[in-house]
Chain A
Amino acid sequence: MATIPHDHIELSLENSLDHCIKCNICTAACPVSAVTDLFPGPKYVGPQAQRFRKPGQPTPDESVDYCSGCRVCNEVCPTGVRVMELNTRAKAAIVEQNGVPLRTWLLGYQYLFGKLACGPLAPLANVGARNPLLRMLVERTVKIARNAPLPTFSTYSFRSWFKKRPKQQAAPTKKKQVVYFHGCSTEYYEPRVGQAAVEVLERNGFEVILAKQGCCGLPLLSNGAFKPARSHHEYNVEQLLPYAQQGIPIVGTSTSCTLTLKEEAPELLGMHETAVRLVSENTYDIFEFLRMLHQRGELNTNFKPLNRTMPYHAPCQLRAHNLGRPALDILELVPGLQLNESNAACCGLAGSYGYKAEKYQIAMDVGAGLFEFVRASGSDTAVCDSEICRWQIAHGSGLTMRHPIEILRQAYGDE
């Protein structure tokens, strides 16, 4: 009988090297190498350089740092090579060699700023965060780009809104319960996304449970800071496990948080415990969840017409779920609503990538085609599932950005 290797992901990554036939389809699709010489492309940095990455030996190629982690290479690879995972593990090896830089700590723990600034102090914090002098200083010292789009701290947190609202009727059966994973951005910056999510789930007869939760750890993970990322994931697994064990779905509106819970953290960190797997298997993107309801004929489709046409961008973090376009599949049920999808590979920001001073312009160049697409639409609003991408597209195009769940909430109208 074959023995199960300690880390089957490591093995599958190693095996995937042999599946690379050097066809360069990934190189032709990579949005980063299309705009900069600093990143030679996924094939070179991924499967080719990987042959030279050996434990105990210095890293052969620092340019892997310029991989934005958008996973377009994984998406297009005809032979199933997992380039992004190779690259992220290579970044982790560099972090292991050199230690975690201060900037990674700041980006990885940005939710602590949220905790401090969200609430009554938000207006003051927002002025401070937009102070050009301060931003210049931050750029000079810790190399966080002064022009990168910072989100606006909310004057109230999502959880405080949830606590204050009138108590809803408990669902008649356990089957009609969901755990909502709001993530840091809904909590501190965009509580309106969480409000829309809760109301949509309730319109479908679900009792929404707000489990204790922390940052998913993706900003640390994608920068190769695996150790602190692991403790973030362990905390969330501990909080979410009791619900997963009861089969209560965990539904999120942040495509990057749900991807981290589903796949990124378990695979990159080699966490294959039953608890981790249970949480992973019970986590859903909210539109994936709604689409499943619809497939079973259980979605409330009592929509009011929304006579609007808007551009839509499927963020790379959503595409990495490999689910197609769940938001489009649901929103096309709304009479009068037309969403036109961009063909852009990536908005450029890719998590924390575009916040780095040396990568800010690359991120803007990657997103240029997308900004042009949404501007040319003539709409004042564009739709995107991922918060970071919404901030970047708003920054690059000047349009107002909405999560698709906010649009769906509108379609349900007032009761």
Chain B
Amino acid sequence: MRDTVVIGAGLAGLMGALALADAGHRPLLLAKGQGATHWTSGTIDVWGAADGSLREAITGLVASNPQHPYARTGFASLEAAVARFRALTEAARYPYVGSFERNVLLPTALGALRPAAFFPATMAAGDMRLPGPVLLAGFHELRDFFPPLAAANLAAQGIDARGTYLNLPPIKRKLDFNTRSFAQLFDDPAFREDVGRQLRAARGDATRIGLPAVLGLKDPLAVVGHLQQLSGAQVFEIPTLPPSMPGVRLYTIFRDALVKAGARIQIGAEVLRGAAANGKLNAVFSAAAAREQEHHASTWLLATGGIAGGGVRTDYTGAVWETALGLPLRAPTGRGEWFAPRFLNEAGHPIYQAGIATNEQLRPLDESDTVVYKNVAIAGAALAGCDPIRERCYSGMALATGWHAGQLLAGANE
């Protein structure tokens, strides 16, 4: 009943579904669980190693490493994908800022510096290359966010930063807190009034204040604006441990746009296997009560992720396999080849490059470089030829390949 099916609800799958919806399709998106969005910081990391222009870095990578997913999409597709992504988030009043000219350095919850190309406007004042003393503030009640520790780590890197704890404003509920419950609290103006007063008092000479990225779910930009007005300083969000509210916001924005465009999202539907004939995938089967659910479509986009996202699995026997369709993988053979001798190896570990090899059209290839299914495209961390965490290109590569694959499939369908 739906001619395209996307498997995976991370950024690659969502972006692929958006490309298909933009082209007039009504894709069905299947995912095992809530997508990788909820695990991520919400920044768009294009290429972490680049010190200068990302445009030049990616163009150089495309020329020197033709196996890399960016080489499949080219810089133009990455640029188009980011532009579409920014238009989407802008329309939802959650604008992203940044550029391909240079990475900014944003603080992590531990006070390390993370390069990012594009990021929510709510994080903008956190660029640690910008001048100005920094105050980091948090709450004892929010676990895994320690402002004094993060500030000390920033200070050790030469940044004028200090950290403090705020008192939890009087609220009805007291038992337990997580990132979502704090985001709900920040949606309430009265709660912000109290926090804002405390920030003003604690501000000292700081010109900007970093808070955990829990500043509301409904309208974070307005929450940041309100806190800036109350505190008299710039306010920025720092990504937290999961569940990441910036990731949840992104998922919600994609979901609403996709559903509005006629797409259907089915979370909780793990794809277990496919059925193919004559080099074409005809059906997939997802887990359901009592029996598998059978889905038919003419084109498919696989974006189930790599080892971290669950699209690629390994076991102690040294086996490495792709979980949804059992596609052939490019992976080091045997456990002895998986890892470099040094744990913190600068070139990474070979196993993290495991993934599906594709041709120029992102179609999956077998060991002899023959297309496995001509109506299936692959996007995101399921692709071979990159180590997205180490290269810090997880989200940029997901957007670029998702967008590119979606467009290729939309074209193939016409």
Contacts and interface: CB of A to CB of B under 8 A. Distances in A.
Contact of A78 (B1, B34, B178): B34
A77 B293 CA distance: 19
A130 interface: no
Nearest to A23: B242
The 10 closest A-B pairs by CB, nearest first: A78-B33, A37-B175, A262-B290, A75-B268, A28-B243, A76-B34, A322-B288, A263-B289, A28-B180, A324-B266
Nearest to B35: A78
B180 A34 contact: yes
A328 B286 CA distance: 19
B34 A29 contact: yes
Contacts of A331: none
A74 B267 CA distance: 10
Nearest to B176: A40
Contact of A263 (B184, B248, B264, B290): B290
A23 B289 contact: no
Contacts of A375: none
B38 A322 contact: no
Contact of A323 (B184, B270, B293, B310): B293
Interface string A52-68: 00000000000000000
A392 B196 CA distance: 39
26 contacts: A23-B243, A24-B179, A24-B242, A25-B33, A25-B34, A27-B243, A34-B184, A40-B175, A41-B176, A44-B176, A75-B33, A75-B268, A77-B34, A78-B32, A78-B310, A281-B291, A295-B1, A295-B296, A321-B288, A322-B269, A322-B288, A322-B293, A324-B266, A324-B293, A329-B1, A343-B255
A280 B291 CA distance: 9
Give the interface centre of B35, B176, B184 by most chain A CB atoms within 10 Å.
B176
Interface residues of B, number: 40
B181 A76 contact: no
Contacts of B34: 25, 29, 76-78
Contacts of B248: 28
Given A319-B268, A341-B259, A23 B39 contact: yes
A210 B270 CA distance: 34
A26 to B, nearest CB: 9
Contacts of A322: 266, 268-269, 286-289, 293
Contacts of A79: 33, 310
B179 A76 contact: no
Interface of A: 23-25, 27-29, 33-34, 36-37, 40-41, 44, 74-80, 259, 262-263, 280-281, 283, 291, 294-295, 319-325, 328-329, 341, 343
Interface in B247-274: 248, 255-256, 259, 264, 266-270
Contacts of A259: 289
Given A259-B289, A281-B290, A341-B259, A25 B268 contact: no
Contacts of A80: 32-33, 270
Interface string B341-359: 0000000000000000000
A210 to B, nearest CB: 22
Interface string B381-408: 0000000000000000000000000000
Nearest to A329: B1
Contacts of A75: 33, 267-268
A76 B268 contact: yes
Contacts of A77: 33-34
A263 B296 CA distance: 24
Interface string B268-298: 1110000000000000001111110110100
B398 to A, nearest CB: 16
A79 B286 CA distance: 15
Interface string B119-158: 0000000000000000000000000000000000000000
B36 interface: yes
Given A78-B39, A320-B289, A322-B289, 5 more contacts: A24-B243, A78-B33, A259-B289, A322-B266, A323-B289
A36 B288 CA distance: 30
A37 B175 CA distance: 6
A40 B176 CA distance: 7
A281 B248 CA distance: 36
A323 B38 contact: no
Nearest to B29: A324
Interface in B18-44: 28, 32-36, 38-39
A41 B287 CA distance: 25
Contact of A24 (B178, B264, B296): B178
Nearest to B270: A80
Contact of A294 (B1, B174, B287, B310): B1
Interface centre among A24, A283, A341 (most CB of B within 10 A): A24
A28 B286 contact: no
B289 A262 contact: yes
A325 B178 CA distance: 31
